[in-house]
């Protein structure tokens, strides 16, 4: 009867994906186009997708980093920013921009909006889907940009690449370390937790559910199952029938989530260096606690926001200072496989 269970599960997931695609088609009406420059997109262009709100502080470094990596065009949804984000993005020649005042939570945390744009513009392209506070690195990223990586993945018949989201933080209270737009955030956020991660394989989607890091250690020690998940699949060769299930943590079809090896070997992976803990996190946490837009059961996370509002110190004697991608690969936090 095992084959019957598998067939039933495949049927349910197929209809789940179709529902997500239908939702995205409906949610397209919530988007107002500000600048559509998609006519510039070449057939082999690597695309970047992002939903953001009030990220002016991070944007200069974010865009510069991904341009250097090889992202040719960005498709961005602005969720009613009031700090200059919308105006700044509108002046960028490689950005197509949409605006919405609608609920981030009711759009599956922005996923419905991006799914529509991916259906419309991303078919056949390698796509990087990240948040504004996520900086992708991978083995040899300084000298081998994304086109080299995606060509290598194409030759191996792979359509996706996984990454661990690694929370970076300063030494001392987070608000006591000023950051200016355009600076390298990792001069300040230069510490991370190296080894307190728990990994489970989700039986339905086959994705990795990874928890740990400073948020689990400092905010969810009494209830670790509530800690945010850290595994993502940010780089995908897109087909218009694909859909993210939860942020970029998992996709459908489920085969795209199999970005890891189960027999003791290695599969190429990267790291999303997470810049959440810049000094603005204190004020942003107060705003997000009031807006109740970032968690499905937002009131359950009130204590989490309260701790952030208190300007916490996430550093501990067990913290590790970031040196290079080689250090992260040697620690087993990402893999270079045979990418030499």
**Nearest-angstrom CA–CA distance, 85 and 71:** 19
Q: Where are the domains of the chain?
A: 2-330
Answer whether CATH 3.90.550 is correct for domain 2-330: yes
**Nearest-angstrom CA–CA distance, 300 and 162:** 29
**Nearest-angstrom CA–CA distance, 191 and 317:** 11
Rounded to two decimals, the pTM is: 0.95
**Structure tokens of 65?**
């980093």
pLDDT at 339: 84
**Structure tokens of 67?**
């341009």
Q: Please, are residues 217 and 229 in contact by the beta-carbon 8 Å criterion?
A: no
pLDDT at 10: 85
pLDDT at 35: 98
pLDDT at 297: 60
pLDDT at 122: 98
pLDDT tens per residue across all 340 residues of the chain: 777 788 888 889 999 999 999 999 999 999 999 999 999 999 999 999 999 999 999 999 999 999 999 999 999 999 999 999 999 999 999 999 999 999 999 999 999 999 999 999 999 999 999 999 999 999 999 999 999 999 999 999 999 999 999 999 999 999 999 999 999 999 999 999 998 899 999 999 999 999 999 999 999 888 888 889 999 999 999 999 999 998 899 999 999 999 999 887 889 999 999 999 999 998 888 887 777 666 656 566 778 888 898 999 999 999 999 999 999 999 999 999 988 7
pLDDT at 294: 64
Phi then psi dihedrals of residue 96, to 5 deg: -100, 135
Q: What is the DSSP string of 269-294?
A: EEEEEE-TTSTTHHHHHHHHHHHT-S
pLDDT at 293: 63
């Amino acid at each position: 009867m095992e084959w019957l269970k598998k067939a039933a599960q495949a049927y349910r997931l197929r209809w789940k994906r179709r529902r997500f695609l239908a939702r995205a088609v409906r949610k397209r009406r919530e988007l107002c186009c500000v600048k559509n420059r998609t006519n510039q997109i070449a057939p082999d262009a690597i695309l970047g997708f992002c939903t953001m709100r009030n990220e002016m502080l991070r944007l200069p470094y974010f865009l510069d980093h991904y341009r250097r990596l090889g992202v040719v065009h960005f498709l961005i949804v602005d969720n009613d920013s009031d700090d200059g984000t919308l105006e700044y993005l509108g002046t960028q020649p490689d950005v197509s921009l949409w605006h919405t005042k609608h609920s981030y939570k009711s759009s599956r945390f922005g996923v419905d909006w991006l799914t529509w744009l991916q259906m419309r513009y991303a078919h056949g392209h390698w796509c990087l889907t990240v948040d504004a506070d996520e900086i992708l690195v991978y083995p040899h990223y300084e000298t081998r940009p994304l086109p080299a990586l995606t060509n290598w993945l194409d030759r191996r018949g792979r359509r996706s690449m996984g990454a661990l989201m690694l929370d970076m933080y300063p030494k001392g209270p987070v608000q006591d370390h000023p950051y200016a737009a355009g600076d390298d955030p990792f001069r300040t956020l230069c510490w991370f937790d190296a080894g307190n991660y728990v990994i489970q394989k989700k039986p339905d989607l086959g994705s990795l559910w990874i928890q740990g890091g400073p948020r689990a250690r400092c905010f969810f020690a009494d209830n670790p199952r509530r800690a945010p998940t850290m595994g993502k699949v940010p780089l995908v060769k897109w087909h218009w029938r694909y859909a993210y299930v939860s942020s970029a943590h998992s996709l459908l079809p489920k085969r795209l989530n199999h970005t890891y090896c189960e027999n003791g070997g290695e599969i190429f992976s990267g790291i999303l260096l997470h810049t959440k803990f810049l000094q603005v996190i204190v004020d942003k946490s107060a705003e997000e606690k009031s807006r109740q837009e970032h968690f499905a059961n937002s009131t359950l996370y009130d204590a989490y926001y309260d701790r952030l509002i208190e300007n916490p110190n996430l550093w501990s004697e067990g913290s590790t200072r970031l040196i290079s991608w080689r250090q992260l690969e040697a620690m087993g936090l990402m893999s270079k496989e045979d990418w030499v």
